[in-house]
Amino acid sequence: MTSRRPQSKPVPTLEDVAERARVSTATVSRCLNAPQRVSAVTRARVMAAVQELGYAPNFGAQALAARRTNTFGAIIPTMENAIFARGLQAFQEVLTDEGVTLLVASSGYRPAAEEEQIRSLIARGADALLLIGHDRTAESYAMLERRQIPHVVTWAFDPDAPRSSIGFDNRAAMATLTAEVLDRGHRRIAFISAMTNGNDRARLRVEGARSALAARGLDPAAMPLEETEYSFHHGAAAFDRLMRQTPRPTAVLCGNDVLAAGALRQAREMGLDVPGEVSITGFDDIELCEIVTPALTTVHVPHREMGRRAARLLLDMRGGDSAGERVRLEAPIKWRDTLGPAPA
Amino acid sequence: MTSRRPQSKPVPTLEDVAERARVSTATVSRCLNAPQRVSAVTRARVMAAVQELGYAPNFGAQALAARRTNTFGAIIPTMENAIFARGLQAFQEVLTDEGVTLLVASSGYRPAAEEEQIRSLIARGADALLLIGHDRTAESYAMLERRQIPHVVTWAFDPDAPRSSIGFDNRAAMATLTAEVLDRGHRRIAFISAMTNGNDRARLRVEGARSALAARGLDPAAMPLEETEYSFHHGAAAFDRLMRQTPRPTAVLCGNDVLAAGALRQAREMGLDVPGEVSITGFDDIELCEIVTPALTTVHVPHREMGRRAARLLLDMRGGDSAGERVRLEAPIKWRDTLGPAPA
């Protein structure tokens, strides 16, 4: 991991930095791995030497000096659409305050890709990992166990799952929202979902809607379901297909806000009044919800709290101050303007 | 970078994998660092051994075996608002096809944070780095030079900058759009910009608007400018401040689409017709532009082409097949519905 060209200059070592900063190699290592444990004066002198020499810590030396790289990893399904952005931002803010660098990988909702990324982040020396949801390959979990990497599952909460998680109950949240839709007299309810394969959040949201229908004695299997890719365009196209059915749905539940925003746009293009002729709901409560017209009624996901708490938990787990925990956060309905009574 | 608990099992070595897979350690290393150079059969056997043993490549061994980690880094200013998401997605798709893992860091538009992230990605053994824009600390560039890390600057093109870049001319693009606004009779033109400190893209877009005004004999310094943080809310607040001025601007240029979407929402809340009473333009052409009402006229940034070409260039530079290049892509106006003639 040193320089990449044979003809490059000799690579400065930890010893070179220690000598130049007139401190022990252990002190240099502490500055790099646990800066809060070093006086500001010493740290300034060491970091100056690090910069002057262009020193980049070497894994071997670092592993010997302190069994951590002070880098955490996060693997998210996508960097698009800002679904995970706010939570990740809060996660990073806490880590930054602790001098920890965050490296993020995006799996494209592909469990095989996530497995490679987990392997790579472990190889790069990540001290701890933030993961999204419970769906991943057995080998992914096996690697985390074998290498004893502290990790936490977010964006989902499964009381039966054995591992640390800070999330919310996707199924219960969607069931609650669906009950509110039913309370407003809607019976022809359709659902636009993200692809559920490898995405437990999406799957649980569909299950939540079905369970609410069943609880009212309605047939869950009769609910029209469009499973589609995660984009405005796909949401609009799915809404278009649903509204061509007869009888037409009076309410369309969307598995996330991006699909709902696409549905809203399509409703506008079809000249349909929302919520007068058709109600539309989302899930996530990203900032987009307040930008679309009418503003989107959705489920509020506690992005920032989830990110902050996941960071603190992983810091505690790395430090040996926690063996992990399982926290269920609330995900309440965020009332705006797209859910109304069923048309007469 | 091995296991993090004293009591953990002994860590499997490259030699263990080679023995189990019945190949040489060099072959194992090739599988991990240049899989395309190993037969599928051998690779399958080696990767099976890697998984069975839970082996994670060790930097020391890897640096000896092949001077690359097969991991690229990207440092972007923010993961929010999907500005960089599409380009980064295209960047990652090319890398994935080549078996390269991408790790991303988000600097929060803070050059000092970016410097730490560059240092960390070098320490983690990144083979090459994608960077956004030219504004960064001298030390950031010095590290890249010292360690000879292939890197490319994207989202900006500066003919005078000495380093590899695949971008577009932010100044010229905004000047062209401003000229179109002037052609429609607008003279009271205001600008909502992202914070320009440490953000050359934002600064150049403001300069582009001013240069277009000056080219028509108008006073660039007379253009009202609101510099604000990057969010819908801040865009809306800035638009509100601008529209309280008398005489009121008839056109508001926004430095990016997110600020423009906030301005559009505020115009709606103020009961202002767009573009009848006030024209609003954006910059970036993210998918959001088609979601807002009316659809946003903006500057199209070639996100995907930029990402793809940056990936290919870095792969060539890493392989020694390129010493780098400087490419200026086009960023044409994307005509939609928010730019109209100045009100009489």
Q: Are A14-57 and A71-168+303-329 the same fold in CATH?
A: no
The alpha helices in A292-342, defined as continuous H runs, are 303-318
Residues 6 or more apart whose Cβ sits within 8 Å of residue A204: A156, A169, A170, A171, A174
Contact B291 A105 (CB under 8 A): no
Report the side by side order of strands in the sheet with B189-194.
B225-228, B189-194, B251-254, B279-281
How far is the alpha carbon of B212 from chain A, nearest alpha carbon, in Å? Answer: 31
**A80, two tokens:** 């698009």
Locus of tokens 């057995």: A138
- A123–chain B Cβ distance below 8 A for any pair: yes
- B214–chain A Cβ distance below 8 A for any pair: no
pLDDT per position in chain B (344 positions), as tens?
333 333 334 556 777 888 888 888 778 777 766 666 778 888 888 888 877 776 665 443 333 334 578 899 999 998 876 788 889 999 999 999 998 999 999 998 999 999 999 998 998 889 999 999 999 999 999 999 988 999 999 999 988 888 899 999 999 999 999 999 999 999 999 999 999 998 999 999 999 999 999 999 999 999 999 999 988 999 999 999 999 999 999 999 999 999 999 999 999 999 999 999 999 999 999 988 998 989 999 999 999 999 999 999 999 999 999 999 999 999 999 999 999 999 98
Q: Are B173 and B331 in contact (CB under 8 A)?
A: yes
Q: Are A83 and A109 in contact (CB under 8 A)?
A: no
Q: Could you read off the pLDDT of A205-247 as tens digits, one per residue?
A: 999 999 999 999 999 999 999 999 988 999 999 999 999 999 9
- A115–chain B Cβ distance below 8 A for any pair: no
Contact B60 A56 (CB under 8 A): no
| Residue A2, pLDDT above cutoff 50 | no
* Cα angle for residues B207, B208, B211 (degrees, 5° grid): 85
Q: For residue B117, give the chain A residue with the closest CA.
A: A101
By CB atoms closer than 10 A (0-12, 13-18, 19+), residue B61 is middle
What is the band of A64 on the pLDDT scale with cuts at 50, 70, 90?
very low
Query: CA separation (Å) from A13 to A4, A46, A57, B176?
Result: 16, 13, 8, 51
What is the band of A3 on the pLDDT scale with cuts at 50, 70, 90?
very low
pLDDT at A18: 86
pLDDT at B62: 38
Selecting from B148, B261, B287 the residue whose C-beta is nearest the C-beta of A291 gives B261
Alpha-carbon span B197 to A306, nearest angstrom: 31
pLDDT at B94: 96
Q: Are A276 and A338 in contact (CB under 8 A)?
A: no
pLDDT at A69: 80
pLDDT at A140: 95
pLDDT at A86: 87
* Residue to test with chain A: of B9, B103, B106, B121, most A Cβ within 10 A: B103
Domain boundaries, chain A: 14-57, 71-168+303-329, 170-301
Q: What is the CATH code for A14-57?
A: 1.10.260.40
Q: Model-level pTM greater than 0.90?
A: no
Fold of A71-168+303-329: Rossmann fold (3.40.50)
Q: For residue B115, give the chain A residue with the closest CA.
A: A51
Reported ipTM: the value is 0.74
Q: For residue B231, give the chain A residue with the closest CA.
A: A287
Domain A170-301, CATH among 3.30.450.70, 3.40.80.10, 3.40.50.2300, 1.10.10.10? 3.40.50.2300
What residues of A are in contact with residue B292 (Cβ under 8 Å)? 291-292
Alpha-carbon span A226 to A190, nearest angstrom: 8
